[in-house]
Amino acid sequence: MAKKYDVIVIGGGPGGLSCGALLAKWGFNTLLLEKNEYTGGKAVTPTNKDGFSYELGPKLQVPAQGPSFAVAFKELGIEAQLKPIALKASGLAYRGRSGKYNKAVLPASAGGLDPAPLMGLLELDQSQQDAALKFLTEMALMPAEQVSALDDLTTEQWLSQSGDVPWPLYSYMMMHANGSLAEPIDLVSASEQVQIMQDIALKGAAGYYVGGFGRVLDDLAKAVKSNGGEIKTRTRVEKIKVSNGRVTGVTADNDTFEAPIVVSDAGIQPTVLKLVGEKEFDQGYLSWVKGLIPGWCFTGVKYFLNKKVLAEQLYNVWADDTALNLERFRKQRAGKVADEIMLFATVPSNWDPNMAPPDKQCIVAGTICSPDPKAEEIKTLHDRLDKMWEKLYPGVMDALMYKEIEGPAEVSEFTRDSVLKGQGGECVGLGQIVGQCGKYQPSPKAPIGGLFYTGADVGIAGMGTHKASGGGIKTARMVLQYKRLREAMI
Ligand SMILES: Cc1cc2nc3c(=O)[nH]c(=O)nc-3n(C[C@H](O)[C@H](O)[C@H](O)COP(=O)(O)OP(=O)(O)OC[C@H]3O[C@@H](n4cnc5c(N)ncnc54)[C@H](O)[C@@H]3O)c2cc1C
């Protein structure tokens, strides 16, 4: 006999867990199915045999104050368990017009990042500094309705309309589009990027958690169970069952689980094209789904060091000609990887000392790349990351014990199935590109009765986990309303 539930959630990433925990709390008999050994999705924090804990790629919480996790934890009554750590300072290195890399440490305050050291780093003269400060202030304080009005513009289009933005500041925005949104400046929606820059400027710059992001997700998984829900890991959903235009449940590992509502955190494209199947949708919807553009990926190297080398919690390294726009991305895809690339890194134990054995350090470093699991440039990018450390922070390679690598193939295998050419390794999901966010954000409600999406694809404005967990909350509220309306009709 198939087991019956009120709702089945497919996938235990930040979106699925936030959604599942809230639905369980609100009285839904909830089953969450996760294909991996453990829940957490792209935000897991494993610990290796030597006692190093780290994330899949450099991870930061933006906004540091009031992220979606805090909203979910409060609603679940477990807010005391969320243990955020604030950014103290970030290490930046930038090669500008002088042709050599300048380094700066930007202190963070409760209010956000102090822009003063940035001006020196960017080699701005006085009139450029005045223009830069004006631009940064206006961007930070832009009212919400003006931010929303930027939905239709890429950041590049918006900046070119803004007039006198000094070139190094444009380059800084390019780096942020890549580093914070995993998108190029000529594809990313200006509304989405401004929202994130506001979060950085005004809400504590960036944060992390005691025990890493994985601990936050473990707490959400515990909340699913403590509210009466069930979680089955190592259980891959093969099919979402549909009858007469309504979902009836799922099949997973030769088992059938029944429910009138199914919420999928597996990504819109894999859900529609693989889990449900094309025949259940009309052609217009299918062509919209197939036309959605995947976000880019981070490919990374984790460096395990026999001593503490780096002092800051996070590092960003870039140059005017290393930040990726579409043209440079296409060259990289064609195998012409530049000698220097951008480098983003976090040092988990500089946030929480328990993340590494005493006197040792793990650096989680990455650079932006295609989400294509078959991307061939990944190995070269890893070699370039090593060279960037040798050039700028040579102590890292001197103290190296061993490395671990990852790229879009690993991200896809671990989280989102590749169902379209070049898709699968998305770092965030869909939704930060013009036409896919803001007023164009895909709805959590699918055109099949009882089927909902959750997670980053249908999330709120903002960076990765904030977007995805916000998507979980949004979907949970919609499912609750759906159930109430259906009950009212019967
Ligand atoms: C390298 C890297 C760096 C990042 N850096 C940051 C950062 O600094 N800050 C930040 O906020 N965000 C960052 N992100 C993004 C963030 O991790 C994602 O936005 C977030 O995890 C998306 O959550 P989600 O719930 O939408 O999906 P996911 O995290 O992808 O979770 C989906 C879950 O569904 C499961 N699943 C899929 N298909 C099935 C199936 N058929 N059956 C059962 N289970 C299934 C998967 O195994 C997975 O657990 C980063 C991501 C990567 C990869």
Q: What is the pLDDT of residue 32?
A: 98
Ligand 1 mean position to 16 CA, how many Å? 10
Distance CA 119, CA 117 (A): 5
Same domain, 218 and 304: no
- Does residue 94 lie within any of the structural domains? no
Q: Whose CA is nearest to atom 21 of ligand 1?
A: 42
**CB-defined site of ligand 1, < 6 Å:** 10-16, 33-36, 41-43, 56-60, 236-237, 265-266, 298, 300, 366, 411, 415-417, 427-429, 455-456, 463-466, 468
Buried b (16+ CB within 10 A) or exposed e, 370-394: bbbbebebbeebbebbbebbeebbe
Same domain, 413 and 300: yes
Distance CA 320, CA 97 (A): 9
Nearest to 367 by CA among 393, 340, 347: 340
Same domain, 189 and 327: no
330's enclosing H/E stretch is: helix 326-333
Q: Hey, which residues does 250 pair with through a beta bridge?
A: 240, 257
Q: Above pLDDT 70, what percent of the chain?
A: 99
Pairing of strands 230-232, 30-33: parallel
Same domain, 330 and 478: no
Q: Whose CA is nearest to atom 36 of ligand 1?
A: 11
Same domain, 157 and 266: no
- Does residue 485 lie within any of the structural domains? yes
Same domain, 391 and 462: no
Atom of ligand 1 nearest to the CA of 252: 42
Considering only 131-135, 206-210, 306-310, which range has the smallest mean pLDDT?
Answer: 131-135
Q: What is the 3-state secondary structure (H, E, C) of 221-285?
A: HHHHHHCCCEEECCCCEEEEEEECCEEEEEEECCEEEECCEEEECCCHHHHHHHHHCHHHCCHHH
Which residues contact residue 222 at a Cβ distance below 8 angstroms, ignoring those fewer than 6 apart?
Answer: none
Domain boundary among 385, 401, 427: 427
Tell me the per-residue pLDDT of 343-374, one tens digit each, with 9 for 90 and over: 999 999 999 999 999 999 999 999 999 999 99
Q: What is the pLDDT of residue 369?
A: 96
Atom of ligand 1 nearest to the CA of 428: 19
Domain CATH code at residue 277: 3.50.50.60
- Does residue 91 lie within any of the structural domains? no
Tell me the per-residue pLDDT of 407-451, one tens digit each, with 9 for 90 and over: 999 999 999 999 999 999 999 999 799 999 999 999 999 999 999
Number of helical H runs and strand E runs in the chain: 17, 19
The domain of 143 spans 102-204
Same domain, 384 and 306: yes
Q: Whose CA is nearest to atom 46 of ligand 1?
A: 415
Query: Residue 307's Cα: distance from chain center in Å?
Result: 30
List the structure tokens of 113. 């990042």
Same domain, 308 and 413: yes
Buried b (16+ CB within 10 A) or exposed e, 101-125: beebebebeeebbebeebbebbebe
Tell me the per-residue pLDDT of 392-406, one tens digit each, with 9 for 90 and over: 999 999 999 999 999
- Does residue 151 lie within any of the structural domains? yes
Q: What is the pLDDT of residue 112?
A: 65
Same domain, 403 and 334: yes
Same domain, 349 and 364: yes
Q: Whose CA is nearest to atom 48 of ligand 1?
A: 41
- Does residue 56 lie within any of the structural domains? no
Ligand 1 mean position to 41 CA, how many Å? 4
Q: What is the pLDDT of residue 162?
A: 83
Same domain, 76 and 223: yes
Judged against a pLDDT cut of 70, whether residue 111 lies above it is answered with: no
Q: Report helix angle 68-76 to 464-489, nearest 10.
A: 40
Same domain, 393 and 444: no
Judged against a pLDDT cut of 80, whether residue 109 lies above it is answered with: no
Q: How confident is the model at residue 2 (pLDDT cuts 50, 70, 90)?
A: confident
Judged against a pLDDT cut of 80, whether residue 159 lies above it is answered with: yes
Q: What is the pLDDT of residue 117?
A: 83
Number of structural domains in the chain: 3
Ligand 1 mean position to 301 CA, how many Å? 18
Q: What is the pLDDT of residue 113?
A: 67
Domain boundary among 184, 204, 224: 204
Which residues contact residue 148 at a Cβ distance below 8 angstroms, ignoring those fewer than 6 apart?
Answer: 191, 438, 439
Domain CATH code at residue 153: 1.10.405
Q: Above pLDDT 90, what percent of the chain?
A: 92
CB 427 within 8 Å of CB 183:
no
Domain boundary among 398, 427, 456: 427
